Amino acid sequence: MEEQVTPRVTALVVSRNGEADLRRCLESLERSTGRDRLEILVVDDGSSDGTASVVDDFPAVISLKLPKQFGWTRAVNIGLRTAKGDLVFLLPPWFAVEPDTINALADRLEATSDVGAVTPCASEGWAIPTPEALDIAWKTGHLPGALPIGTKGEHAVDYPKGSPFLTRRELLRNMNYLDGRFGDRWADLEMCSRIRGGGKAILVLSEVPIQKFNSPPEDVSQLEWADSANGVATYTGLHFGSVRGFTSRLSMAFHALGRGKTSAFTGILTGAKIDGNQE
């Protein structure tokens, strides 16, 4: 009887309505060095196109198909409870890894307990954002205050927004996984804040390669506007006080109303989010 190898890393991909992206991502993961120690886990977040069937062409990939859109936070948490790797690589499907990307990240993370997470090469990172910066990000889709990152060596950041992210599964479990008060947006910021608040570094490894392709458009529906606003208000309340969080929520709600987004206005005031319970 063949002995099963315990995964070193679980690559966790949350995918929704992106067949070409997911296929390219999985093809790159399958070429990874040490594939026998890599668990590839796809959580399909209620896709309405053929994305869910892409995994059928990859028999060694594990697939969890959600019946509707549960949002990134809940989808990741479902995947984390299934993952078997000691390390977890949160990988958006619009990235493709090189064969040595995951091993290089894992080697660095395991080299010292002072590092809580590592990401591959990126051109910019962020300090923990202020409420004002988050308000701008909600309105425009772009978080201000990006700090350029060099092309050589390691660079400590607080928030590698949008980047693939390798961390220890035990660390996330000790956090009780991602904060369920968030929906599709901003739970990654809360995760990074907790890692940094625990005294662990987050490093960008500029010489570890990865390819990024065009990501899908953000915040295109009124529900997505409300979900993002709920994330901003929740994060602001947690880290800058409940009063500041409440005023942030009110400000975003009336901004949405002024833009004629009445559904978003109501959703923001009621804390609507994408978590599988939305209508």
pLDDT of residue 5: 80
Single out the residue of 276, 16, 253 nearest to residue 139, CA to CA: 253
Query: CA triplet 197, 171, 173: central angle to 5 degrees?
Result: 120
| Percentage of residues of the chain with pLDDT beyond 90 | 94
In this structure, the chain runs to a length of 279
Q: Is 205 helix (H, G, I), strand (E, B) or coil?
A: strand
pLDDT of residue 57: 97
pLDDT of residue 219: 52
Beta strand pairing call for 9-15 and 87-90: parallel
Q: Per-residue b/e over 109-127, b at no fewer than 16 CB within 10 Å?
A: beeeeebbbbbbbbebbbe
Q: Is 39 helix (H, G, I), strand (E, B) or coil?
A: strand
Instruction: Taking residues 201-230, report their average pLDDT.
Output: 89
pLDDT of residue 214: 82
Whether the predicted pLDDT of 220 surpasses 80: no
| pLDDT single digits (tens) 104-133 | 999 999 999 999 999 999 999 999 999 999
Whether the predicted pLDDT of 196 surpasses 60: yes
Whether the predicted pLDDT of 264 surpasses 70: yes
Helix (H) or strand (E) holding 118: strand 115-119
Domains annotated on the chain, with CATH:
9-212 (3.90.550.10), 222-270 (no CATH)
Whether the predicted pLDDT of 243 surpasses 50: yes
Mean pLDDT in the chain? Answer: 95
Q: At 115, give phi and psi (nearest 5°).
A: -100, 125
pTM: 0.95
| pLDDT single digits (tens) 65-112 | 999 999 999 999 999 999 999 999 999 999 999 999 999 999 999 999
pLDDT of residue 162: 94
pLDDT of residue 1: 43
pLDDT of residue 116: 98
Instruction: Taking residues 157-178, report their average pLDDT.
Output: 97
Instruction: Taking residues 162-179, report their average pLDDT.
Output: 97
Q: Which tokens in the block code for residue 102?
A: 């995951």
Instruction: Taking residues 229-251, report their average pLDDT.
Output: 98
Instruction: Taking residues 260-268, report their average pLDDT.
Output: 96
Instruction: Taking residues 230-247, report their average pLDDT.
Output: 98
Higher pLDDT, 3 or 157: 157
